[in-house]
Amino acid sequence: MAKCEVCGNDYYLAFQVIAAGATHTFDSFECAIHKLAPVCAHCGCKVIGHGIEANGTFYCCAHCAHMQGATQIRDNAAHARPD
């Protein structure tokens, strides 16, 4: 069995994730998200989906990116301005 590095649970179904060259062991996706997911620079929530990166900073959505001054960001192509 392997021990989760977040909660310490020693679990026979633990799994490993390799991120940025480092190997991490978790007993659940919840613990993996807690440890590895980026945090929105505006509202502080964990970015579990695709999120948005603007000016080298991660945001959970276009609204949060806009609130930090990244005004050209759009959540999806349907709302993007034509070129």
> For residue range 21-71, what is the model confidence (pLDDT) as tens digits?
999 999 999 999 999 999 999 999 999 998 998 888 999 998 999 999 888
Cα–Cα dist 26/35, whole Å: 9
Number of other residues whose CB lies within 10 A of the CB of residue 8: 10
Half-sphere exposure of 9 (CA within 13 A, CB side): 13
Structure tokens at 30: 């919840």
CA-closest candidate to residue 51, choices 61, 42, 41, 38: 61
76 confidence band (pLDDT: 50, 70, 90): low
What are the tens digits of pLDDT across the range 26-37?
A: 999 999 999 999
> What is the pLDDT, as a whole number, of residue 79?
56
Contact between residue 36 and residue 53 where contact means Cβ atoms under 8 Å apart: no
